[in-house]
Amino acid sequence: MATLELSMQDEVAAAPVRHKRKLGLLFWIASLWLAIVLALAILAPVLPLQNPVDMDMLERRAAFSSEHWLGTDGLGRDEFARLIFGARVSLTVGLIAPLIGLGVGGALGLLAGYFRGRFETLVVGSMDVLLAFPPLIFALAVTAYLGQSIPNLTVILGVLGIPAFMRVARAATLSLARREFVIAAEALGASHARILLRELLPNVILPLLAFFLLGVAVTIVVEGALSFLGLGVPPPMASWGSMIGEGRDSLDVAPRLAFLPAAGLFLTVLAFNLVGDTMRALTDPRQGAL
């Protein structure tokens, strides 16, 4: 056993170990950008914006003006209003779909990692089947049958996210389920429900939330791709993807019609990735840091 002198030394040595994890300037810029986009998207109906679907055939592809801040698109619709209403659509799908994945996938992963056995084999097996479909192709095929609408799109993209969330939750649960505090709770006669909700869930939820942010980024991209192909949100509704798709036809005369929503999409996806990646690094169970 350690002698008295050593234990005193340990206290001295332990003090300077704590160092604050810096989040970095980029993290805050990305968060700020997300806050602005989110605020604009939520407030879009009450902001003094023009109607994003009002066409004006006399003012097609108009340049920037005080009336149309960012000009108009190929059908004479106000580009600025469409950008903000597009953000509304992209973010609605982008935020709600991963919530489905988080809820269903997270619960399945938690249960599979805790109970193991046949249940785990079944869950992992069915996820493998879902993963056998290239995601975009699966989304396209199901949208084709279900019909294009925002709720349909959201549900499909949500279901597609389930396997990934399941894996994250299961991996985190597996690494936790044999730890002392869970075994101690079991030894004290705690019920399964109590261990799952009180002991495991609070520890699994952090990596899941970090993964959620990355999931938002992926979902926005997939929604953008589907809408870009004209198979996502139904026209005349604007989404960043569909705006880029429409702008593609006038790349030679008005490239801004494609590049403005492209920049919005890229910056938002990048911001979600940045924030998500920072959170993931902080909650990574392997590093044991919070």
Q: Is 121 in the site for another protein (CB under 8 A)?
A: no
Q: Is 265 in the site for another protein (CB under 8 A)?
A: yes
Nearest distance from C-beta of residue 160 to another protein, angstroms: 11
| CB closer to another protein out of 176 and 264 | 264
Nearest distance from C-beta of residue 204 to another protein, angstroms: 24
**Which one among 134, 189, 202, 288 touches another protein, defined by CB under 8 A?**
134
Q: Is 138 in the site for another protein (CB under 8 A)?
A: yes
Q: Which stretch binds another protein (CB under 8 A): 7-15, 112-120, 179-187, 204-212?
A: 7-15
Q: Which stretch binds another protein (CB under 8 A): 51-59, 107-115, 141-149, 181-189?
A: 141-149
- DSSP secondary structure letters along the chain: ---HHHHHHHHHHHGGG--PPP--HHHHHHHHHHHHHHHHHHHGGGSSPPPTT---GGGTT----SSSTT-B-TTS-BHHHHHHHHHHHHHHHHHHHHHHIIIIIHHHHHHHHHH-HHHHHHHHHHHHHHHTS-HHHHHHHHHHHH-S-HHHHHHHHHHHHHHHHHHHHHHHHHHHHTSHHHHHHHHTT--HHHIIIIIIHHHHHHHHHHHHHHHHHHHHHHHHHHHHTT-SSPTTS--HHHHHHHHHTTTTT-THHHHHHHHHHHHHHHHHHHHHHHHHHHH-TTTT--
| CB closer to another protein out of 137 and 193 | 137
Which 173-202 positions form the footprint of another protein (CB under 8 A)?
A: none
**Which one among 55, 174, 225, 282 touches another protein, defined by CB under 8 A?**
225
Q: Which positions touch another protein (CB under 8 A)?
A: 1-3, 5-6, 9, 12-13, 16-17, 19, 125-126, 128-138, 140-147, 217, 221, 224-225, 228-229, 231, 241, 244-245, 247-248, 251-252, 255, 258-259, 262, 265-266, 269-270, 273-274, 277
